[in-house]
Amino acid sequence: MTTRPSLRQIEAFRAVVLIGSISGGAAHLGLTQPAVSRLIRDLEYRIGLTLFERRGNAVQANAEALLLYKEVEQQFLGLDRIEVAVRHIREAQLGSIRIAAFTGAAIRFLPHVTARYLDTHPGARVTLQSTTSPGVLDGVSLRRFELGMAHSPAAYLGIEAEAMEGLSAVCAVPANHPLAARPEIGLDDLHGVPLLSLGQSSPIWSRLTALLQSRSVEPMVLVEANASESLCTLAAMGKGIAIIDPFTAAHLDRPEVALKPLVPAINYPVSLIFNKGLPRSRMVEEFAGLIRTEAALLAERWRPQKG
């Protein structure tokens, strides 16, 4: 009657077939040669099959051994994959993360954050989706994304919003404009100046309009757009001063544009968005941590020195 072989016997069998000798198998397993020989004899006894032809000190796997080896190897390959997967998960290097963000954050800011993440987690897979803030909230609440960045919502079913404090709008001034030499741009400086502004869907718009009216400042609003990138292109062409989001300003590389803090600061309310009922993986937590760090640097960079 056959009995079930032990895992150690199967390991010894696999090592001997793989390497081609008892001594090699023993070295591979860190065991003595007699110990491996005994494991092989016990295995043959338990399963009722002769697996190796003995030729002096050498052994050669027979047809039955090779058939058994194919089945054993499939199981060990599965175990190897599990071992690698466990290691990668522990290091937050395996799997994927899907992130949705409003356009201002998705175009320049998040790619730089992603590059930093991949520097230390090269096995990760990141999906970035540019959409509207309502699209972010919908996507995260429906679990199409694990993480989002959106204009801070008052309330939204199924999501948890974590506000990132201190972020404010930035002025993109044509480099040849007289105001480009100023360390900061005051609202009063905008009186009668061609202005390029984010549209009414932007959280900047309502506060900017209210502040300008309270100071009787009347700029010439030439263009409204829903993307800061579009306004920056126009500012680079000398068509006016653009009021843009800090995420677009973060990695803007246009020598034709000078970036300046706006005084008083106009708050730019942005939140990290999580699904309320979905546990946060280590990967989500680490990526969110990078976003927090980079956002804090932006808040400090564009903080006005006065007012």
Same CATH topology for 7-90 and 96-166+269-301? Answer: no
Between the alpha carbon of residue 63 and those of residues 15, 23, 68, 70, the distances in Å are: 17, 21, 9, 11
CB atoms within 10 A of CB 227: 19
How many alpha carbons fall within 13 Å on the CB side of residue 14?
17
Cis status, amide bond into 5, omega within 30 of 0:
no
Token pair recorded at residue 38: 């005994």
Domain range list for the chain: 7-90, 96-166+269-301, 170-263
Between the alpha carbon of residue 254 and those of residues 185, 236, 281, 296, the distances in Å are: 19, 7, 37, 23
- pLDDT score recorded for residue 156: 85
43/307 Cα distance (integer angstroms): 82
Place of tokens 């199967």: 10
Q: Which residues pair with 138 in a beta bridge?
A: none
- pLDDT score recorded for residue 273: 97
247/245 Cα distance (integer angstroms): 6
Give the torsion through C-alpha atoms of 162, 143, 123, 289, to 10 deg.
0
Place of tokens 């003995």: 54
What share of residues in the chain are helix, strand, coil (percent, to 5)?
45, 25, 30
Q: Any idea which architecture 7-90 has in CATH?
A: Orthogonal Bundle (1.10)
254/173 Cα distance (integer angstroms): 11
Identify the CATH class of 170-263: alpha beta
Helix residue ranges per DSSP H, the chain:
7-19, 22-29, 33-47, 63-90, 103-104, 110-120, 133-141, 203-214, 228-236, 246-250, 282-301
- pLDDT score recorded for residue 86: 61
19/27 Cα distance (integer angstroms): 10
- pLDDT score recorded for residue 57: 65
Between the alpha carbon of residue 74 and those of residues 51, 66, 237, the distances in Å are: 18, 13, 63
Q: How far apart are the first and last CA of the chain?
A: 90
Number of helical H runs and strand E runs in the chain: 11, 13
- pLDDT score recorded for residue 35: 93
Fold type of domain 96-166+269-301: D-Maltodextrin-Binding Protein; domain 2 (3.40.190)
Tens of pLDDT, residue by residue, the chain (307 residues)? 457 888 888 888 888 888 888 888 888 888 999 999 999 899 888 888 888 888 766 788 888 888 888 888 777 777 666 666 666 555 545 568 999 999 889 998 999 999 999 998 887 889 999 999 999 999 999 989 999 999 888 778 889 999 999 999 999 999 999 999 999 999 999 999 999 988 777 878 888 888 888 989 888 989 988 888 999 999 999 999 999 999 999 888 889 999 999 999 999 999 999 999 888 888 899 999 999 999 999 999 888 775 4
